[in-house]
Amino acid sequence: MSTTLSESERNDIDAQLSYENVTKIIGDLHESEDESEDYTYFDRVHEMVLSVEEKKLYEICLGTGGPGYHLNVQVNGSGNLADIEKMSYTYLNWFYRKEIPIEKGTEEWKVWEEFAANFVEEWVL
């Protein structure tokens, strides 16, 4: 009997294999004996990185128990260029955790964005 994997399952397998492969590459770079004055571990590591982006994640606690709930706000950029990239609502009830994404462009997004603007330091005066 052959088992057909769903696209989601194939993507999960590809992601795990990619992670394992890149972890090995980075480990091998660190252990490499191909050091020279002109080409160091630092050089090799920096060659493989395409970009580095700094993002801030604000976790705004709205309740702590019975159940707990938080608004998570991910901000990209700083100052006047800061932009809320994504938001989610997290529900926490003892051993159960559920994160609910808030879709950009929806009415819910507008409600939470206005609320979050009171706490995101880039916009608080």
Mean pLDDT, each 10-residue run in order, the chain (125 residues): 84 91 84 67 82 86 89 86 91 91 96 89 59
Helix-, strand-, coil-residue percentages of the chain, each rounded to 5:
35, 30, 35
CA distance 65 to 88: 18
Closest CA to 65 of 97, 92, 100: 92
pTM more than 0.85: no
Region of residue 20 (phi > 0: left; psi between -120 and 50: alpha; otherwise: beta): alpha
